[in-house]
Copies of this chain bind each other. A is one copy, B any other.
Amino acid sequence: MQYPLTPDVKPEFCTTGTFMRLPSNRENAKLAIVGLPFDTAASFRVGARFAPQAIRQASMTLFPYHPIHKVYPFDACNAIDIGDVSVIPHNIHRSYEVMEKAVMELMEKGIIPIGLGGDHSVTLANLRAAAKIHGPVALIHFDSHTDTWDTYYEEKYWHGSPFIRAYEENLLIPDKVFQVGIRGTLNHPGDIDSSSDLGYHVITTPELKERGFENVVREMQEKIGDTPCFLSFDIDFVDPSCAPGTGTLEVGGLNSFETLQIIRSLTDFNFIGFDLVEVLPPYDPTQITSLLAATIIHDFASLVALKIK
Contact = CB atoms under 8 A, between A and B. Distances in A.
Given A90-B155, A240-B256, A257-B253, A45 B47 contact: yes
Interface string A45-70: 11101101100110011111111101
Interface in A1-57: 2-23, 26, 35, 37, 39-47, 49-50, 52-53, 56-57
A18 B47 CA distance: 21
Interface string A142-160: 0000000000111101100
A40 B43 contact: no
B49 A249 contact: no
A88 B4 contact: no
For the residues of A in contact with B, the DSSP-based class is loop
B16 A18 contact: yes
Contacts of A89: 11, 40-43, 46, 152, 158
A21 B5 contact: yes
A41 to B, nearest CB: 6
A154 to B, nearest CB: 8
A11 B88 CA distance: 8
Interface residues of A, number: 112
Contact of A46 (B20, B39, B298): B39
Interface string A221-245: 0000000000000000001111011
Contacts of A187: 6-8, 63-65
A74 B20 CA distance: 28
A40 B285 CA distance: 23
A186 interface: yes
B47 A47 contact: yes
